[in-house]
A and B are shown apart, each in its own frame.
Chain A
Amino acid sequence: MGPRSMFQDKKTGAGKGIAGFLRGLPVIYLSLILLFFITLFFAVGNKSFLSPYNLKTIGNMTAILLTIGLGQLFVLLTGGIDLSVGGIVSLISIIYILGLKYFGFMGFILTIAVAVGLGFVNGVIFTRLRIPSFITTLGTGGIYGSIAYLLHAAPLAAPEETYKFLDIINGSTVKINHSWIIAAAVYLFCFVIQKYTYLGRTIYAVGSNEKMSWMSGINVRRTKVFAFMLSGMGAGMCGIILASNLYSGSAVFGALYILESIAVVVVGGTALTGGAGGVLNTLVGALIMSIIKNGMTVVGIDIYAQQTFLGILIILAVAVTFDRSKVIIVK
């Protein structure tokens, strides 16, 4: 490696002043800065923000958002999007309770398998029918939601015998919530995939330059299907944690989480255009989102009203991270 580098300063948008400095940084630093200021904002505005109880609540929320966000991450990295995560969360919450009821602990394994299977279906429809992912997952999300209703229209309260399983997740060891451990396990799993596996590498390649990936012999179709399977897994874990927390499963659980999952990934710095970002970004994003949600709830903003801010926040985040050099025509 030569001591000199023929280095063209092509960092997008690097320029003068603070704005230029900010734009030239790797996006993760931007997200961390955002996290810092958000925390500051809410901590200063509200005395009880830093109370142990509140921090625990934030931690729980982070665990939930992190799992679903990590799944969505891999789909976004390939340049697609998974809008069916809401349907998956709803359906899984019901299947989990039913699974625990009829199969005991095996129910857990079964549920994960179903979640991954739903993701697989998404991937197959997307790659075989070759219709844009937002339409595919829009459709399948509706289908999964309907199936949830068909299985159990009213919210399904968990029967007594399942409590011992549900409480595994709800419990804590040495003050650390088990749900955090599960989220951490999922994070670790996804980290390994991202950094150490062929799948992880090809996901980035396909997101960065799909044509070139195909020309280099990568099985693009397989990569995308796996990305959707990971998304199914993430949404599934989220549904499981939710069902455990609320001791019930319901077909309406998931609707709110579609936007959340996208927000977590995008606010953390992963671009919609794919090829850039990662698990660490998503972790920061999950933290930011849960702090914002917590802050809004403490101030008294209704859950649905929160979606308003969420929608605007996502548009802002996408505006900042969208890689316009990759897309000539924006439709």
Chain B
Amino acid sequence: MMDTGERNKPSRGRGKRTIFKEIGRGFQFVISHTTIGPLSVLALIYVIFTISTLGTFTSLENIQVIFSLSGLLAIMALGSSLVILIGAIDLSLEGVMAISSMICGLLLKNPINSADFGFLVLPIVMAIGAVIGFVNGVIITKVKIPSFMVTLGMGYATLGLAVIIGKGATIQILDNRLQTLANGDIIGIPYITLVAVALLVITMAIQRRTALGKYIFAIGGNETLAQMAGIRIDRVKIIVFTISGCLYGIGSFFLVSRLLASSTMISTGYLFPSITAAVVGGTALSGGIGGALNAFIGALVVTGVNNGMVLLNVNPYAVGAVNGILLIIAVALTIDRKKIGIIK
């Protein structure tokens, strides 16, 4: 009575789909299991641009510029990466930077008031960023609203606050020490790169050598299991948002230093590159994979691409579009769709 059934040929016509799937899966594996993937992307970018700019790209001068620029982006990407690691997203970046830089403008030596806090401003904006991040985290975890929504709203809210505080004006910074900080270097390495590297080391230490770091990966990997294992999800999320807010604050301090001015428009255009850098570097939007080092590599990639475009005289407005395209491609290639399930 048992039906042995016929053995039929495997269903054909799925060949095309499976190859594409395999490539995608392979790409994802390489990019996420090691830093080899992002590093090879980096190498590829540099080769392409070196060739197309006939060597200008890799001139010592240009490399210095790239490192200096990428230092700032790396700091922002570090913040974004941490949030993406737990499977969330922080869209409030530009707003946090705006209000932080306005505060910088008002507290550093400027033509409007008599403040002159100098380097003391740094811990102040770190605190501001941390507070905003903290609020984000609390609303997301306690009121239970998706991070993209909360940070979107918060981003605009803080941007508005920045305008209110600064009355929309651009404030000039008169503190010369900042100029040295931003443009100076020691044995050829820009100060900002050193700061970025220092932050990288700290973040990596947190990531690999603390329980918090393990919990971050656990939550990003499978939040339900992490919760079952007894990890305090809410607490970890709030801490992550606070840290990344703090990092954004640091970033805005350096941004203000470089421009020697602060305005509400200062942060425009930093959101995309920051997320792209995190994702391209290997921190998938689905979470649980990637980290600090990946953010660094990603920052180098994105800065390299933007810099290369400038050297190639690409229309500056097109650069925005390119960053948008890069973002979409990067996410499309690295996201783990099985984990997310239904994509909304």
Chain A contact residues, CB within 8 Å of chain B: 78-81, 83, 125, 129-136, 138-143, 145-147, 149-150, 153, 210-211, 259, 262, 272, 274, 302, 304-312, 314-315, 318-319, 322, 324, 327-331
The answer to whether A135 and B285 touch across the interface, beta carbons within 8 angstroms, is yes
Complex: how many Å from CA A282 to CA B143? 24
Chain B residues near A83: list those with CB within 8 A.
152
List residues of chain A with CB within 8 A of the CB of B272: 138-139, 142
Residues in B with CB closer than 8 Å to A134 are 89, 148
Query: In this complex, what residue of B is CB-closest to A324?
Result: B144
Residues in chain A near residue B161, CB distance under 8 A: 305, 308
Nearest CB of A to B131, in Å: 15
Q: Hey, which chain B residues are within 8 Å of A211, CB to CB?
A: 342
The answer on a CB contact under 8 Å between B164 and A302 is: yes
Interface residues on B, range: 35 or more
B168 at interface, CB cutoff 8 A: yes
Across the interface, which residues of A come within 8 angstroms of B149, CB to CB?
272, 314-315, 318
Beta-carbon contacts of B203-243 to A below 8 Å, as 1s and 0s? Answer: 00000000000000000000110000000000000000000
Find out whether the CB atom of A153 lies under 8 angstroms from the CB atom of B144: no
**Per-residue CB proximity of B306-344 to A under 8 Å, as 1/0?**
000000000101111101110110011001010010111
Can you give 20 A-B contacts (C-beta < 8 A)?
Answer: A80-B344, A81-B148, A132-B343, A136-B328, A140-B328, A143-B324, A145-B320, A150-B318, A210-B342, A302-B168, A304-B160, A314-B149, A315-B145, A318-B145, A318-B149, A322-B144, A322-B145, A324-B144, A330-B145, A331-B87
Q: Is the Cβ of B156 less than 8 Å from the Cβ of A142?
A: no
Q: 8 shortest A-B CB distances, which residue pairs?
A: A308-B160, A311-B157, A146-B321, A142-B324, A149-B317, A146-B320, A304-B163, A311-B153
Apart from A304-B168, A315-B143, 18 more pairs, CB < 8 Å: A80-B344, A81-B148, A139-B331, A143-B321, A149-B320, A259-B152, A304-B160, A304-B264, A306-B160, A307-B156, A308-B156, A308-B158, A311-B152, A311-B155, A311-B160, A312-B153, A319-B143, A324-B144
Chain A, residue nearest B143 (CB): A319
Q: Once bound together, how far apart are the Cα atoms of A81 and B88, in whole Å?
A: 16
Verify B332–A129 contact, CB threshold 8 A: yes
B331 CB contacts on chain A under 8 angstroms: 131-132, 135, 139
B197 at the binding interface (Cβ < 8 Å): no
Contacts of A143 in B (CB 8 A): 320-321, 324-325
- B78 contacts the other chain (CB 8 A): no
Residues of B within 8 A of A147 (CB): 321
Is the pair B160, A142 in contact by a Cβ cutoff of 8 Å?
Answer: no
CB-based contact B145/A79 at 8 Å = no
Known interface pairs A134-B148, A322-B144. Does A305 touch B156 (Cβ–Cβ under 8 Å)?
no
In the complex, which residue of chain B has the Cβ closest to the Cβ of A125?
B328
Task: Give the one of B160, B287, B344 with max A CB within 10 A.
Answer: B344
